[in-house]
Amino acid sequence: MRLIPHLDFDGQCEAAFKLYEECLGGTITCLLTYGSQGTPSLSPELESKIFHATLKIGDQTLTGVDVAHASYKKPQGFSVQMNVDEVDQALRIYEALSQDGTIHFAMQKTSWSGHYAAFTDRFGIPWEINRER
């Protein structure tokens, strides 16, 4: 069994996944729009939006979708956590993903981690970065 985080977006899935691909060193393996499905979408506003996105990062997978604006709910009660090995990697990812977002806990050394940060990115997705000692 594998757990695969699936993220809902309010019309910004493609932009988010392109940023994640760049800063996490992954590869987008699927980026389908509602309009490419050959059947009418539930809403004209979704025609050019993402029906399904898949990002592969090593042996990990992240998926996402744009939902109708009226159905969108701001993510809460979870974070996508990354455990990284290198300080440079932790800092680079933190700088890229937290830019124009909301920092809840700036990158710093903690009692449980060599480097830790918690933030919400510009697309509304909550993240944590943890570099174990």
Q: Which amino acid is at 24?
A: L
Q: Could you say which of 27, 52, 70 is where a domain stops?
A: 70
Q: Are residues 65 and 10 in the same domain?
A: yes
Per DSSP, the three-state class of 29 is: strand
Q: At what angle do helices 13-24 and 87-98 cross, to 10 degrees?
A: 160
> What is the pLDDT averaged over residues 21-47?
88
Which residues, in sequence order, are CB contacts of 89 under 8 Å at separation 6+?
131
pTM: 0.93
Q: What percent of the chain has pLDDT over 70?
A: 96
pLDDT value, residue 41? 62
Tell me, yes or no, whether 55 lies in a domain: yes
CB neighbour burial string for 70-109, b if at least 16 within 10 angstroms, e if fewer = eeeeebeeebbebebeeeebbbebbeebbeebeeeeebee
Neighbours of 133 (CB within 10 A): 7
Average pLDDT taken over every residue of the chain: 94
List, for residues 53-71, the tens digit of each pLDDT value. 999 999 999 999 999 999 9
Q: Are residues 50 and 93 in the same domain?
A: no
pLDDT value, residue 39? 67
Q: Is the pLDDT of residue 31 over 80?
A: yes
List, for residues 100-111, the tens digit of each pLDDT value. 999 999 999 999
Tell me, yes or no, whether 37 lies in a domain: yes
| CA 43 to chain centroid | 24
Q: For residue 31, give its domain range.
A: 6-70
